[in-house]
Homo-oligomer: A and B are copies of this chain.
């Protein structure tokens, strides 16, 4: 299967466009022999870069576009101006047409989601898509969703996120039964906003074939208490960025502290290997790739400011999702959920509380 796989790349996305996308794609091409890449964007910028990356060039095609979506364009504006002819649009459309198995872009998130929904459509039974982040934890990686696609998700949407996130965790983490938790302000059943409490009741009642363990709190994400953390897009986005901010803050403090005295500088020099290991573990480029879930196709969003290594990670994530047949796994699970959700199977309890 990997032999025929093609990944469509929005070569113009991200802060530096092809300068990052081309070398990033080559890193991924080296790791995955047999893979083909379709690069969408300005041929006059892509072609000279490809000449300098022969390992990628051999397995790539360039699809020229004159238009590209600006990083700060509003989604509606991007749809209007980029429809049909932009590099982002065409990369996603290649997935719809079956010419590629996944699309990767480091472009404008809102525009990418709007176009992906428009072109690929949501899967039957899914109301709204989600963006899932891969979050490094003390127990390995976890899947956290939604981190910004669906602001203000309701209970049944949260249940759908749980189903989709669980399928992704099986694809990504190779777990047979990933554990799933709902993000809340306490672990007791009475705490939190109504839609989260209701989602918790639904997840217990529906007897979905997933390992729902209950509510988890913000600090459980970093601990890796569960493999899949489900939340609504507003809170998920803020939690993700608050954690990223803290990581940056500590690394700044660490650098400042270590450069204070000659002795501490010597210590830092001797412990350089340890710091490299730490940096490696926390490296955001190794956890790059927001996976769009709930669509008829695989679309992965890379950080806009990442470098080639980070972009290669996002491409790798897309490949993993295709190889493990993410979309069909979600489709199957959603059908199963739909059957369980039929009213006869969801008893209304007299007290209305659980």
Chain A residues engaging chain B, CB cutoff 8 angstroms: 74, 136-138, 148, 151-152, 183, 185, 188, 190, 192-194, 217-223, 231, 233-235, 237-250, 252-254, 257-258, 260-261, 263-264, 266-275, 277-278, 281-282
Instruction: Given A151-B193, A217-B241, A238-B235, answer yes or no on A274-B249 (Cβ-Cβ < 8 Å).
Output: no
Closest CB pairs A-B (n = 6): A218-B241, A267-B271, A267-B270, A222-B245, A219-B245, A264-B274
| Contact of A272 with B278 in the complex, beta carbons under 8 Å | no
Known: A223-B245, A266-B270. A277 touches B252 (CB 8 A): no
Residues of B within 8 A of A270 (CB): 263-264, 266-267, 270
- Indicate if the CB atoms of B218 and A237 lie closer than 8 Å: yes
Question: Known contacts A185-B151, A193-B234, A219-B248; is A267 also within 8 Å of B263 by CB?
Answer: no
Chain B residue contacts of A273, Cβ below 8 A: 260-261, 263-264
Name the one of B190, B239, B261 contacting A218, with C-beta atoms under 8 angstroms. B239
Q: Closest chain B residue to A243 by CB distance?
A: B246
| Whole-angstrom CA separation of A328 from B266 in the bound complex | 52
Contacts of A247 in B (CB 8 A): 246, 250
A281 to B246, CA, bound (A): 13
B residues less than 8 Å from A252 (CB atoms): 138
Total identical chains: 2
State whether A271 and B245 are in contact (beta carbons under 8 Å apart), knowing that A74-B190, A185-B148 are contacts in the complex: no
One of B192, B267, B277 near A234 (C-beta < 8 A): B192
Task: Tell me the minimal C-beta distance from A252 to chain B in angstroms.
Answer: 6
Q: How far is the CB of A76 from chain B (nearest CB, A)?
A: 9
Q: List 24 A-B contacts (CB under 8 A).
A: A137-B249, A151-B185, A151-B193, A217-B237, A217-B241, A218-B241, A219-B245, A222-B248, A223-B245, A234-B235, A239-B242, A246-B246, A246-B250, A253-B282, A254-B254, A257-B274, A257-B275, A260-B274, A263-B271, A266-B267, A267-B270, A267-B271, A267-B274, A270-B270
Q: Which chain B residues lie closer than 8 Å to A221 at the CB level?
A: 242, 245
Distance between Cα atoms of A266 and B271 in the complex (Å):
7
In whole Å, how far is A253's beta carbon from the nearest beta carbon of chain B? 5
A222 CB contacts on chain B under 8 angstroms: 242, 245-246, 248-249
CB neighbours (8 Å) of A217 from chain B are 237-238, 241
Chain B contacts for A277, CB-based, 8 A: 257, 260
A185 to B113 alpha-carbon distance, docked (Å): 15
List chain B residues, Cβ under 8 A from A220.
Answer: 245
Closest residue of B by beta carbon distance from A250: B250
Given contacts A152-B193, A223-B248, 5 further A-B contacts (CB under 8 A): A138-B249, A185-B237, A217-B238, A217-B241, A253-B278
Query: When chains A and B are docked, how far (Å) is the Cα of A193 from the Cα of B269?
Result: 47
A258 in complex: contacting residue of B218, B243, B271, CB < 8 Å:
B271
Q: How far is the CA of A144 from the CA of B257 in the complex (A)?
A: 26
